[in-house]
């Protein structure tokens, strides 16, 4: 039923919880887990007074994304077929594009469960993916709050 399961990661604490769910589903359906991280190309700190250049932002984002993929893969069973990808873009858009391009059958992703002002200001990548995904999305709460 599911051959390819996408596990997006930004390296947040608790991603192992989502990885555990993705692994269980992959083992049940003999599927490949695709671990994806997005280099967020929106430099929120680029301005004359912030002192962070676009190149510095992108380099820091690339390092974060590479580390997020490595850490997430390390939390999965070594027997599990895994593919990795680091792409550039706006996270929600890049995840949805990856779904279309890779033929992913299901997405398992973490959510912080932000509400109120935090949700309004920061937004929710998971919520946007759930609303627009052409395939089923399983969301897993990353925090114990």
Do the bridges between strand 32-40 and strand 137-141 make them parallel or antiparallel, or are there none, so unpaired? unpaired
Q: Which CATH number fits domain 4-141: 3.40.50.620, 1.20.120.430, 3.40.50.720, 3.30.420.40?
A: 3.40.50.620
pLDDT recorded at residue 125: 87
Whether 48 has a pLDDT exceeding 80, the answer reads no
Cβ–Cβ under 8 Å, residues 33 and 9: no
pLDDT recorded at residue 117: 44
pLDDT digits (tens, 9 = 90+) for 53-111: 778 888 989 999 999 999 999 999 999 999 999 999 999 999 999 999 999 999 999 88
**Residue 30 has what DSSP assignment?**
T
- 62: buried, middle or exposed (CB in 10 Å: 19+, 13-18, 0-12)? middle
What rounded mean pLDDT belongs to the chain?
87
């Amino acid at each position: 039923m599911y051959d390819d399961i996408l596990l997006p990661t930004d390296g947040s604490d608790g991603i192992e919880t989502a990885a555990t769910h993705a692994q269980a589903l992959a083992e049940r359906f003999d599927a490949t887990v695709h671990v994806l991280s997005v280099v967020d190309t929106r430099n929120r700190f680029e301005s004359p007074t912030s002192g962070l250049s676009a190149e510095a932002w992108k380099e820091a984002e690339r390092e974060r994304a590479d580390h997020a993929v490595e850490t997430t893969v390390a939390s999965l069973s070594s027997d599990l077929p895994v593919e990795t990808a680091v792409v550039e873009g706006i996270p929600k858009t890049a995840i949805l594009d990856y779904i279309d391009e890779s033929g992913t059958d299901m997405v398992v992703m973490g959510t912080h469960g932000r509400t109120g002002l935090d949700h309004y200001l920061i937004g929710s990548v998971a919520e946007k993916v759930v609303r627009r995904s052409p395939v089923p999305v399983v969301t897993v709460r990353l925090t114990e709050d």
